[in-house]
Chains A and B, each alone.
Chain A
């Protein structure tokens, strides 16, 4: 199966650390990429690969993988990090090359 499962909603207190997870069989073979989407905006790549962060993305965003689970961590969450976060990965079959997770709505309290 190429399905990716994320928590629907996660909250974090301002300045604290939060982890968002993404589970799926294909994550055993491929790294995830993570996207932040704010209302009315296109998605923004915030982390990808084993340990890569695009230029301009704050260092408080980091990623990891263990078994079939990928995680995006935000260390010292800021108000501007409130958004929906999506994981994305290659699929395990030729029929479904790419898959998104269902998205996690992050609330910064």
Chain B
């Protein structure tokens, strides 16, 4: 069974750093794109970016380029999203998700983590 299990909720202050995780199991981690999606309070879904764990190829949505860093650790089949300097506007739920088809960057994402709530407040 494919599973994506995300790390727990975080409360941080502006200016602090943060790294959240998405631990995967039940499939070949290196063969499927993983995406990160932001959902701000009461708002819609936005792509943060995508990563291909096989070679760590990444693509960031323009709004997030330079603001966050995605990475993947093949040895523990876990993907990460990190911030070096958090802002109040980073407050949101962040989901990790996986493509339906191996090796293909299609538009269908059929496995989702439960979401990580990140709260940034002074």
Question: Complex: how many Å from CA A86 to CA B43?
Answer: 12
Q: Is A69's CB within 8 Å of the partner chain B?
A: no
Size of A's binding interface in residues, CB under 8 A: 28
**Complex contact B45–A31 (CB within 8 A):** no
Min CB–CB distance B101 → chain A (angstroms): 10
**Complex contact B108–A102 (CB within 8 A):** no
Q: Is A90's CB within 8 Å of the partner chain B?
A: yes
**A52: B residues at CB distance < 8 A:** 108
Supposing A42-B95, A42-B115, A48-B100 touch, asked if A98 and B110 sit within 8 A by C-beta, the answer is: no
Min CB–CB distance A22 → chain B (angstroms): 11
Q: Is B59's CB within 8 Å of the partner chain A?
A: yes
Question: Complex: how many Å from CA A32 to CA B47?
Answer: 15
Min CB–CB distance A2 → chain B (angstroms): 10
**A89: B residues at CB distance < 8 A:** 107
